[in-house]
Structure 1
Amino acid sequence: MSGQRLQVQFSKIYAHFHGKDSDTNLQDMSEILFCTRRNARMVLNKMAEQGWLTWDPAVGRGKQSRLTFHRSQSDLQMKRVREWVKDGKLDAALEHLDNNASKLAQLIQEQLGVTTQEGKQIIRLPYYRAFPSLNPAKPLRRSEQHLITQIFNGLTRINERTNDVEPDLAHHWEALSACHWRFYLRPAVKFHDGSLLSAADVIASLENLLDNAYFSHIEKIESPAENAVDIYLHFPDCRLHETLAVPMAAIQSKSSMGTKNAERFPVGTGPYLVAENNSRQLVLRAHDQYFGFRALTDEIEIWVLDSAAMCYLQPTASLDPTVLDSRQGALHQNAISNGEHDRLALDEGCNYLLLNRRTGIAKDPRWAEYLHSRIASFSLMPYLAQDGIGEYRLTNAYGLVPGWVHTNAGSSDRTAPAVTRLRLVHQADNPLFPKLAHALKAMLAADHVALDIDVVSYEDMMQGKSAKKVDIWLCGMSLGNQRSDAMLPWLMNFNHMSVAMPDEDYAKLEESMKTWRGMPNKPFPAETLGRMIVEQRQIIPLFHIWLGVVDSRDLEDVSSNNVGWFDFKSVWKKPIF
Structure 2
Amino acid sequence: MRLLNRLNQYQRLWQPTAGEPVQATVAELAGRCFCSERHVRTLLNQLEAAGWLTWRARSGRGKRGELTFLVTPESLRSSMMEEVLHKGQHQNALDLAQIAPEQLRHLLQPFLGGQWQNDTPTLRIPYYRPLEPLQPGFMPGRAEQHLAGQVFSGLTRFVTHSTLPQPDLAHHWQVSDDGLSWHFFIRSTLHWHSGEAVETSQLQQRLLMLLTLPAMRRLFISVKTIEQPHAQCLQFVLHRPDYWLPWRLASYCSRLSHPDDAQLGCGAFRIASFQESLVRIESHESYHLSHPLLKAIEYWITPALFDTALGTSCRHPVQIAIGQQDDLVHLRPVSNSISLGFCYLAIKQNGSLTPQQARMLMQIVRKHEVIATLPVEESLITPSTEMIPGWTIPDWQTLENVALPPKLTLIYHLPVELHAMARQLKQHLAALGCELTLIFHDAKNWADCAALDDADILMGDRLIGEAPEYTLEQWLRSDILWPRLLSGAQYARLQATLDSVQIHPDNATRYAGLKDVFSSLMKEAIVTPLFNYRYQISAPPGVNGIELNAWGWFDFTQAWLPPPSMS
| Residue 130 of structure 1: aligned partner | 130
Give the CA deviation at 1:203: 2.5
Amino acid at match of 2:9: Q
Q: Secondary structure at the match of 1:455?
A: strand
d(CA) in 2 for partners of 1:79, 1:412: 69
Partner of 1:63: none
> Is 2:532 the counterpart of 1:544?
yes
Q: Does 1:274 align with 2:276?
A: no
Residue 409 of structure 2: aligned partner: 423
Task: Tell me, in whole angstroms, the C-alpha distance in 2 between the residues paired with 1:466 and 1:240.
Answer: 34
Measure, in 1, the Cα distance between the counterparts of 2:49 and 2:474: 57
* Other structure's SS at 1:510 match: helix
What corresponds to 1:376 in structure 2?
366
1:407 aligns with 2:404: no
* Residues 1:410 and 1:105: Cα distance change in structure 2 (over 3 Å): farther
Query: What residue number does 2:520 align with?
Result: 532
Q: Secondary structure at the match of 1:550?
A: strand
Letter in 1 for 2:352: I
Residue 248 (structure 2) aligns with? 243
- In the alignment, the residues of structure 1 paired with residue 204 and residue 401 of structure 2 have an alpha-carbon distance, to the nearest angstrom, of 53
Task: Give the Cα separation in 2 of the matches to 1:410 and 1:53.
Answer: 80
Give the Cα–Cα distance (whole angstroms) in 2 for the partners of residues 155 and 376 of structure 1. Answer: 42
- Segments of 5+ residues of structure 2 without an aligned counterpart are 56-66, 83-90, 324-329
The yes-or-no answer on 1:171 pairing with 2:165 is no
Cα distance, 1:415 vs structure 2: 5.0
Contact 1:139 1:494 in 2 (8 A): no
Aligned to 2:545: 557
Q: 1:545 Cα shift? A: 1.4
- Are residue 504 (structure 1) and residue 501 (structure 2) matched? no
| Separation in structure 2 between the aligned mates of residue 297 and residue 494 of structure 1, nearest angstrom | 36
Query: 1:571 offset after TM fit, Å?
Result: 1.0
Corresponding position of 1:209: 211
**Cα distance change, pair 271–69 in 1 and its aligned pair in 2 (3 A):** farther
Q: Which amino acid in the other structure matches residue 493 of structure 1?
A: S
Aligned to 1:448: 433
Measured in 1, the distance between the counterparts of 2:360 and 2:118 equals 63
Q: Which residue in the other structure is 1:255 paired with?
A: 260
User: Aligned residue pairs: how many?
Assistant: 532
Q: Distance in 1 between matches of 2:6 and 2:516?
A: 68
Asked if the contact 1:108/1:313 (under 8 Å) is kept, the reply is no
**2:285 pairs with one of 283, 288, 298:** 288
Cα shift at 1:491 = 2.1
1:38-49 equivalence runs, <5 A: 39-40=39-40, 43=43, 47=47
Preserved CA contact (<8 Å) 2:349 2:485: yes
- When residues 322 and 43 of structure 1 are mapped into structure 2, their CA distance, relative to the original with a 3 A threshold, is closer
Q: Partner residue of 2:470?
A: 485
* Mapped partners of 1:73, 1:190: distance in 2: 46
Q: Which letter does structure 1 place at the counterpart of 2:236? A: I
Counterpart contact for 2:171–2:187, Cα < 8 Å: yes
Does the Cα contact within 8 Å between 2:344 and 2:528 map onto a contact in 1?
A: yes
Aligned residue identity for 2:260? S
Q: Is the 8 A contact 1:423 1:451 kept in 2?
A: yes
Distance 1:81 1:230, change over 3 A: closer
Paired AA for residue 308 in structure 2: Y
- SS of the equivalent of 2:188 reads coil
**1:67-466 equivalences in 2 (<5 Å):** 71-73=71-73, 75-76=75-76, 93-94=101-102, 109-176=109-176, 178-207=179-208, 208-209=210-211, 211=214, 212-257=217-262, 266-306=263-303, 309-313=305-309, 317=311, 324-326=316-318, 342-357=334-349, 360-362=351-353, 364-376=354-366, 379-381=369-371, 384=374, 387=375, 389-408=376-395, 416-420=403-407, 422-428=408-414, 430-456=415-441, 458=443, 461=446, 466=451
State whether residues 128 and 313 of structure 2, in contact with CA within 8 Å, keep that contact through their aligned partners in structure 1.
no
Q: 1:521 to 1:50 in 2, by over 3 A?
A: farther
Query: How far is 1:50 from its partner?
Result: 7.5
Kept in 2, the 8 Å contact 1:29–1:40? The answer is yes
Provide closer, same or farther for how the CA distance between residues 344 and 442 of structure 1 changes in structure 2, counting only shifts above 3 A. Answer: same
Change (3 A) 1:369 1:5: same
Secondary structure of the corresponding residue to residue 557 of structure 2: helix
Distance in structure 1 (CA, Å) of the matches to 2:537 and 2:36: 57
Q: 1:399 to 1:244 in 2, by over 3 A?
A: same
How many Å separate the matches in 1 of 2:314 and 2:18?
47
Displacement of 1:30: 8.1
- Aligned partner of residue 379 in structure 1, secondary structure: coil
Comparing 247-256 with 104-113, greater Cα deviation is found at: 104-113
What is the aligned partner in structure 2 of residue 62 from structure 1?
A: none
One-letter code of the match for 1:251? L
- Are 1:516 and 2:501 counterparts? yes
- Identity among equivalent positions (%) equals 23
Query: What does the per-residue CA deviation read over 1:320-374, in whole Å, with 9 as the maximum and x for residues that have no partner?
Result: 669943469899xxxxxx999634221112110122215x434x33442332222
1:375 alignment partner, SS class: helix
2 CA distance for matches of 1:487 and 1:186?
A: 30
Q: Deviations over 1:227-247 (max 9, x none)?
A: 321111000124532332111
| Alignment correspondent of 2:327 | none
Distance in 2, matches of 1:130 and 1:218, equals 36
Q: Which amino acid aligns with 1:310?
A: F
Q: Structure 2: which amino acid aligns with 1:119?
A: D
Q: RMSD value over aligned CA atoms?
A: 4.4
TM-score by length of 1: 0.78
Asked if structure 1 preserves the Cα contact closer than 8 Å seen for 2:20 and 2:69, the reply is yes
In structure 2, what residue type is equivalent to 1:563? W
Structure 1 counterpart of 2:227, which letter?
A: E
Deviations 1:281-336 (A, max 9, x none): 43323233323333322222223455x8434125xx5xx669943469899xxxxx
CA contact (8 A) 1:321 1:565 kept: no
The answer to whether the Cα contact below 8 Å between 2:203 and 2:256 also exists between their aligned partners in 1 is yes
Relative to 1, partners in 2 of residues 1:77 and 1:527: Cα closer, same or farther, differing over 3 Å? same
Deviation per CA, 1:151-185: give whole Å up to 9, x if none: 11000011122333211011122224521112122
Q: CA deviation at 1:483?
A: 5.2
The residue type equivalent to 1:173 in the other structure is: W
In the alignment, residue 528 of structure 2 is paired with which amino acid? Answer: I
Q: Distance in 1 between matches of 2:106 and 2:99?
A: 15
The alpha carbon displacement at 1:248 in A equals 0.9
Moved more, 560-569 or 410-419: 410-419
In 2, Cα distance between equivalents of 1:527 and 1:256: 39
Of stretches 115-124 and 456-465 in structure 1, the one that deviates more from structure 2 is 456-465
**Larger deviation, residues 281-290 vs 35-44:** 35-44
Distance 1:330 1:189, change over 3 A: closer
